[in-house]
Amino acid sequence: MSELRAKAKDFDSRLYEKMQVILPSIGDLELYEFGYALKNLCPPQGWDSIHPLPGREIETLVSQRGFYEAIHTRRIAGDRIVLDEVIQRLTQMLIVGLLDGLYSVDWVNEHFYFDIRAFLFFHRTRYYTDEVLSHFGGKPALQFAAKQRQLEHLQEIGYREFSHANAEIDQAFIDCVVKLVSARGTPILITLAGPTAAGKTEIMARLLAAFAAQGKRITTIEMDNFLLDRDIRGENPMGVLTSHFELFKQCLKDIRQGKRVSIPRYDFINATSSHDQTGILKPGCTPLVVEPADVIFIEGNFPFQLPEISEAIGIKVVYLTDDPIRLKRKWKRDIDFRKKYDPTFFVNRYFKTQFLRGDDCYAPQMRCCDIVVDTTGAALWLTPQIAAILDQS
């Protein structure tokens, strides 16, 4: 018994050293705190029962949708939601493989990041594919000092530190949008897409304030209002078939002509639209009225790259923050402050959706948007066309 315990203790302390190379802030924990966290991951038959796959196979595994689609976010055992086995197994393999020397620290860091609070490895989503890079002419238009690096050692990130780190890139982005709007003229539609907790709401508020200060009339349209009843669309993501697409196209057309428009209203509590499937107002329902405006922001994760609407949109932006930073922001915002989710459900879902969402929403939008703001890299990416407009103005 004591021999087993000594062996377990030795495992803990060797891993504790190794993990500090992967992530220096592990050193903020005492060894025994590290041991507490590790205990939840230790398989019932001991660490010897874990057989890590070769690195190549792991790479293939984590780059396939099926791997993420199979994750159960809400499986219950006893009276608690449990961590998905696939997620647990991945970290177990990485831990054992790291200690056995099967995986190098560099390889692990290249493909994964470790989140202390979850005490798990997560796959790094690759947002900058070759296609995206070539769309933006291979390099960012503006590059600042990447101050989010200073947040890497923190276990939790509040908005104050976050906005402080982004001060330069955010200002450059706002200046750029203001210039583009005066070059292109109003009314103009602007879309701002980006993963959860990237900082969309906050930057949107600042953009609105910048235009309001110029005396421009501003408004926002929430894409979710165009959703069909949930009974009709099921769990499918926002798209042509799950929304009042014709009404949406008409709305974009009218508002660009400076007209007052009337759009569907979505009731989040009952998950129903004010309009029926054919786009006619249901009896007893009231639509939303959007007053004419100079600058119209469209909020939500709609596939704006669709050719039928893409041209109606004056400026298409993707606002990005790296996965590890967003996860830390969400721990504070959604778990500590809002107490919105069960932490295990939250971890399962983040692991699952960061990949799938990237694949479904952000990758396609990045391939065709006008501007990418990368807050973590402190880089502003502009398409050659947009860069040319800005150069002239």
Q: Which residues bind another protein (CB under 8 A)?
A: 28-30, 32-34, 36-37, 39-40, 76, 79-80, 117, 119, 156, 158-160, 332-333, 336-339, 342-344
Query: Quick one: CA dihedral 24, 28, 32, 35, positive or negative?
Result: negative
Smallest distance from the beta carbon of 364 to another protein, in angstroms? 31
| C-alpha to C-alpha distance for 241 and 225, rounded to whole angstroms | 14
Task: Output 79 or 130, the one with its CB closest to another protein.
Answer: 79
Smallest distance from the beta carbon of 323 to another protein, in angstroms? 19
Task: Output 67 or 159, the one with its CB closest to another protein.
Answer: 159
Smallest distance from the beta carbon of 353 to another protein, in angstroms? 21
Burial degree of 217 (CB within 10 A; 0-12, 13-18, 19+): middle
Task: Output 222 or 342, the one with its CB closest to another protein.
Answer: 342
Bridge-based pairing of strands 315-320 and 261-263 is: unpaired
Task: Output 229 or 334, the one with its CB closest to another protein.
Answer: 334
Task: Output 299 or 370, the one with its CB closest to another protein.
Answer: 299
Task: Output 107 or 119, the one with its CB closest to another protein.
Answer: 119
Smallest distance from the beta carbon of 30 to another protein, in angstroms? 4
Task: Output 57 or 336, the one with its CB closest to another protein.
Answer: 336
Task: Output 32 or 392, the one with its CB closest to another protein.
Answer: 32
Q: Which tokens belong to 86?
A: 């696939």
Instruction: Give Cβ neighbours of residue 186 (< 8 Å, ≥ 6 apart).
Output: 216, 294, 295
| C-alpha to C-alpha distance for 318 and 369, rounded to whole angstroms | 7
Task: Output 268 or 337, the one with its CB closest to another protein.
Answer: 337
Smallest distance from the beta carbon of 14 to another protein, in angstroms? 19
Instruction: Give Cβ neighbours of residue 209 (< 8 Å, ≥ 6 apart).
Output: none
Smallest distance from the beta carbon of 80 to another protein, in angstroms? 7
| C-alpha to C-alpha distance for 54 and 70, rounded to whole angstroms | 21
∠ CA 378-333-88, nearest 5°, is 90
Smallest distance from the beta carbon of 35 to another protein, in angstroms? 9
Instruction: Give Cβ neighbours of residue 62 (< 8 Å, ≥ 6 apart).
Output: 90, 111, 123, 355
Smallest distance from the beta carbon of 113 to another protein, in angstroms? 18
Smallest distance from the beta carbon of 358 to another protein, in angstroms? 25
Asked if 273 and 264 touch (Cβ cutoff 8 Å), the reply is yes
